[in-house]
Structure formats: structure tokens, C-alpha cells
Chains A and B, each alone.
With several copies, the nearest count.
Chain A
Amino acid sequence: MADYNLPVPVPQPESDFYWEKAKAHELWFRKCNECDKVFFYPRDFCPGYHCKDVTWVQSSGKGTIYAFTIVHRSPPPFREVCPYVAAVVELEEGPRMPTNIVIDDPTPENVSIGMPVEVIFDDITDEISLPKFKPV
């Protein structure tokens, strides 16, 4: 972990809870109690209809790949880990989030839109565990 040299997110106050839960290997989203929309990224109000009655809900961690790219060219420090799959995953609860799809051989034959995936957590530092996804 000490030699992890890719970017480490700095949690912001409105996302402290998100990262605390990630550290416990749980994925939580904000939900609007008025329109029932589960949304990402976390804010203290619903970005849809701007109501402030929002709560936190735990995600099943299951979803499908919504879109992806297999990155062959990237500046340092990501240059060292190419090729890798960067994707947007759509969770069962509705929200979409950027992430990585963790597979051994990142080729278009092995990744596809609609593919079922589930969350895994990469403990990149003592404080931060990064939610990623693997094919089910």
C-alpha cells in the first residue's frame, strides 16, 4: 500500500460517509425521500428536484456495465497500468458511477455493455478503499 502511486481521492465533507463505508467494504448512495431517486455523487440535496430531504441507502453492489473504454494510452502514473478498463457501471438501485472493471485480460472480447458486475474494494491506503467492479 505504501507504494501506491496512483491518485488517491481526498474525501470532502459531503462524501465522508461514502468513503467511511467504502473502507468497511460497503457501497452507499444518497437517496431523495421525495422523488425516491437514488443518486450519485453524494450531495445534501437531490440534484433532480432540489429537495433537501435526503438519506443514505446501502447498495447491493450489483449492477451492469453501462459504458466502458479500454485504456491503452494514459499519462503517468497510469501509463504503468495500461491497458485497463475504465467504465461507468449502472447499479441496481439506479445510479451510475465511474469505476474500473477488474479482469485479467482487458480486451473487447472480455468486456461488454450490459455485462453483470459486482462491487469489490481495493484497499489503496489505510484510509481509502476504492470501489471497483468485477464480472459476476
Chain B
Amino acid sequence: MADLSRMAAIVGVDESDEIGKVPNKSRLQLGSEAAFNALDDAGLSLSDVDGLFVAGPSPYNMAEYLGITPRYTDGTNVGGSSFVIYVEHALAAISAGLIDVALIVHGEAGRSSRAYAGDDPNMPIAQYEHPYGLVIEPHPYALAATRYMHEFGQERTQNALGEIAVSTRKWAQLNPKSFIKDDMSMEDYHESRWISWPFHLFDCCLVTDGGGATVITSAAVAKNTKKKPVWVLGTAEGHDHGEGILQQADLCSTIARETGPRALEMAGLKHSDIDLAMIYDSFTYTVLITLESLGFCGRGEGPDFVANQRTAPGGDFPMNTNGGGLSYCHTGMYGMFLLLEATRQLRGECGDRQVAGAKTSLVNGTGGTLSSTGTIVLAAD
């Protein structure tokens, strides 16, 4: 295998001008704002972009909107993990010499969209899930969580989910861009209303508008960008079922059990080398089983791993320091925002929430219904 480590770097990241509730911006506007901002962060411009990576709108539609004619595009849509997976895809294209500057774009009027495209009635979930009212994400994720509770104990699971929700909120309180900053206690968590049992409201991510963009370049280009590069050390992509839950064989783990070890191995690092974990938190449960799947702890050991606010500010396992999809921003496809925070932390730009001395970050995106994962290992010089 070609040694891809450090062949490419993240050189620019940013959100759209506004995130949260942004009823006066379309998906394409939010994406284009973020693209302008991230390129500015890198000291590059749209005319430098030769690869465009975007999920949602087809790449050629996004390119048209932006007024560019990229020579390489990727529109793979495997849910919110897509943007993390694009890092590997961009790395492949850069390594092959096909492009030098990859722009990864996301924009979604997740909260304020004026219209919706229908689901494809020909896909299996239209026959085997939707008729039963398994129609929005909390439903199947909650369903998976019941199995975990059955196997590993209901009370300790619910306490673990509470720990994750509360610690993530604490980080959000340190991030000026967070959508929700109210105090949340364990009691608040347990008393919040049911969305889809066993999920409370505070098990579920936000529903916001927003855009984000990440610029990845070859090592050669990264030498001359505005800020210090964040190197891509390891990457991996995996899928073990489709977008629904109906073919998930093991409801208590994700394919991060493969992508985690593969990405770490490519990076030449082990779990204890990681300073910051950015873990897709569509739901508290997503985090719990992702930590186990990635190998930070064993199967069923997640509740002990996250106990006593270990992942909160001041804890010894800093995680989701932007406030996560749970409290900062979740447009429906959150993966992009993991990249933004990982980069900012590794650059030391995070102000009150800065993880002291953070040099390495493991980012794990999850898409579909616990279906696909992209794991990447990033590092500052």
C-alpha cells in the first residue's frame, strides 16, 4: 500500500456566516458561504479548487452554484459520515496526482427548509421500515439502544447516556457558536420528555440549519497556506448495512470496529496517543457504542468509560469539545462539523474550550442508521 500518511493536510475550515436557526438562507447558500469562509481561512480562493466533494446536492449542481468547473468530484452520500469519508477520498485523488486542492462542502437547511424531496419508494426501507413508522432517525437508533440495554443493563446504560448528554452540554457552554447553552443536570436529562423510548429529548441531536467546509490540499500546497496544516495521518471507511436498521446484524456496535483500528494503524498510533476524540453524536447512544467499537473500551464497557463526566471539560478524555450534534449544531448531516473542531483544536484556536497541548485527534463519523463510518486520525506538527 502506498504510504498515504501526511500526503495531504486540512488547511482551511469554517462554518457558514450563521448556523442554528437561519430561515433566510437556502442549503446552497449555506454551503457556499462556508466554502468562501473555509477557503479564506486557508488563504485560497475558489479558482484554486480542482476537486469538489459534497453530499446532498450533486457535485455538478453545487459546482454550478459556486461557479466552478472541478476536474474531480465526489458526491457519495452515505449519511452524515460522508464528509469524514471524503477526507480519505480526497487523499486518494491527491495521492494519485489528479487534484491538488479539494473542497469539501456541506450546507443544509435542516431546520428551515421550505420543501422536501420525497424518499425513493423503490428502496427496501420503503417496504420494510416506513410502513411501521420507523421514519425518522430517533426511531431506529432508539430501537438499537433497547438491545444494548437488554444485553448490558438498562440503568447503567441510561446513566451513561445521561453522562454523555451532560458533558457535551458543558462543552457547548464554552463554544460561542453553540445553539443550546442552558445548564443541564443529570436530573434534567432523566426528566426530559420521551421522543422514542428509551430516548429522551436530550438523547437526540439538535435540528439546525448550517453549512461547513473543509479544504484539503497536497503537502506541497499546504506549505504555503495561511495557517499551519493539520495532517491526515490515517483514514478508513466502512459500511455494514444500508441506510436503515433492518439489516444491522449487531445493534450494539458499528463498523468503527474495523475503521478505527485501520485508521490508527495507518497513522502508526494507538488509542493512548489520541489527545482528542471527535465522535459523531447524532444520539447519545451513537457515542456510547462508537467508543466501544473504536476500541477505546471493550464491548459493554462504555458506561464505565464515560462515567463521572470523564469526557467533560476537565475530564481526562476530552470529547466533542464543540458541544457536538447534541448541543452545538446538527443539520441532519453532522460529519463536517467534526472536521472543523478537530482542526481548530489542533491549531490551538479554541479559546475557552481549548484542550491543552492537543496534538492528535481521532475523528469518527457515523452515517445512516449506525450504517457507515469514516475514521480519520489527524495531527498538528
Binding site for B on A (CB under 8 A): 6-15, 40-41, 43-48, 50, 52, 66-75, 78, 81, 83-84, 86-88, 96-100, 108, 113-114, 124, 130, 132
In whole angstroms, how far apart are the Cα atoms of A97 and B337 in the complex?
A: 34
Q: Which of B66, B124, B199, B244 has the most CB of A within 10 A?
A: B124
Q: Closest 6 CB pairs between A and B?
A: A47-B67, A70-B197, A69-B142, A67-B147, A9-B127, A12-B26
Q: How many A-B residue pairs have CB under 8 A?
A: 147
Q: Is B253 an interface residue (CB 8 A)?
A: no
Q: Is B150 an interface residue (CB 8 A)?
A: yes
- A113 to B, closest residue via Cβ: B150
Pick the residue among B194, B196, B245 that contacts A98 (CB under 8 A).
Answer: B245
Measured CB to CB, the closest approach of chain A to B115, in angstroms, equals 4
In whole angstroms, how far apart are the Cα atoms of A103 and B41 in the complex?
A: 52
Q: Which of B47, B127, B143, B247 has the most CB of A within 10 A?
A: B127
Q: Which of B65, B133, B144, B195 has the most CB of A within 10 A?
A: B133
Measured CB to CB, the closest approach of chain B to A81, in angstroms, equals 7
Q: Which residues of chain B from 113 to 154 have a CB within 8 Å of any chain A CB?
A: 114-115, 121-122, 124, 126-136, 138-139, 142-147, 150
For this complex, 12 residue pairs linking A to B, each with C-beta atoms less than 8 Å apart, are: A9-B127, A9-B128, A11-B114, A12-B26, A41-B128, A47-B67, A52-B36, A69-B145, A72-B193, A88-B245, A97-B246, A98-B128
Q: Known contacts A69-B146, A132-B132; can you find 7 more A-B pairs with CB under 8 A? A: A47-B64, A71-B196, A81-B133, A88-B246, A98-B132, A100-B132, A113-B146
* Residues B122 and A10 in contact, CB atoms below 8 Å apart: yes
In whole angstroms, how far apart are the Cα atoms of A68 and B251 in the complex?
A: 11
* Residues A98 and B65 in contact, CB atoms below 8 Å apart: no
* Residues A69 and B131 in contact, CB atoms below 8 Å apart: no
Given contact pairs A67-B251, A69-B146, A99 touches B198 in the complex (Cβ within 8 A): no
Q: Which residues of B contact A75 (CB under 8 A)?
A: 135-136
Number of interface residues of B (CB under 8 A): 52
Q: Is B308 an interface residue (CB 8 A)?
A: no
Q: Which residues of B contact A87 (CB under 8 A)?
A: 143
* Residues A8 and B24 in contact, CB atoms below 8 Å apart: no
Q: Which residues of chain B from 157 to 189 have a CB within 8 Å of any chain A CB?
A: none
Pick the residue among B26, B139, B247 that contacts A69 (CB under 8 A).
Answer: B139
In whole angstroms, how far apart are the Cα atoms of A52 and B45 in the complex?
A: 13
Measured CB to CB, the closest approach of chain A to B371, in angstroms, equals 14
Pick the residue among B46, B65, B135, B193 that contacts A78 (CB under 8 A).
Answer: B135
Given contact pairs A11-B114, A13-B25, A48-B67, A68 touches B146 in the complex (Cβ within 8 A): yes
* Residues A72 and B194 in contact, CB atoms below 8 Å apart: yes
* Residues B122 and A98 in contact, CB atoms below 8 Å apart: no
Q: Is B29 an interface residue (CB 8 A)?
A: yes
* Residues A41 and B246 in contact, CB atoms below 8 Å apart: yes
Q: Which residues of A contact B138 (CB under 8 A)?
A: 69, 73
Q: Is B32 an interface residue (CB 8 A)?
A: yes
Given contact pairs A6-B133, A45-B32, A81-B133, A74 touches B127 in the complex (Cβ within 8 A): no
0/1 string, B25-38, CB within 8 A of A gives 1? 11011001000100
Q: Which residues of B contact A84 (CB under 8 A)?
A: 133
Q: Which residues of A contact B128 (CB under 8 A)?
A: 9, 40-41, 97-98
* Residues A13 and B132 in contact, CB atoms below 8 Å apart: no
Q: Which of A13, A14, A132 has the most CB of B within 10 A?
A: A13
Given contact pairs A71-B133, A73-B196, A15 touches B127 in the complex (Cβ within 8 A): yes
- A122 to B, closest residue via Cβ: B131
Q: Which residues of B contact A43 (CB under 8 A)?
A: 29, 32, 65
Measured CB to CB, the closest approach of chain A to B85, in angstroms, equals 23
* Residues A114 and B142 in contact, CB atoms below 8 Å apart: no
Measured CB to CB, the closest approach of chain A to B202, in angstroms, equals 13
In whole angstroms, how far apart are the Cα atoms of A29 and B121 in the complex?
A: 21
Q: Which residues of B contact A15 (CB under 8 A)?
A: 127
* Residues A12 and B127 in contact, CB atoms below 8 Å apart: yes
* Residues B29 and A67 in contact, CB atoms below 8 Å apart: no
In whole angstroms, how far apart are the Cα atoms of A48 and B129 in the complex?
A: 21
Q: Which residues of B contact A81 (CB under 8 A)?
A: 133
Measured CB to CB, the closest approach of chain B to A20, in angstroms, equals 13
In whole angstroms, how far apart are the Cα atoms of A25 and B247 in the complex?
A: 24
Given contact pairs A48-B67, A50-B45, A69-B199, A7 touches B126 in the complex (Cβ within 8 A): yes
Q: Which residues of B contact A14 (CB under 8 A)?
A: 25-26, 28-29
* Residues A10 and B199 in contact, CB atoms below 8 Å apart: no
Q: Which residues of chain B from 22 to 63 have a CB within 8 Å of any chain A CB?
A: 23-26, 28-29, 32, 36, 45-47
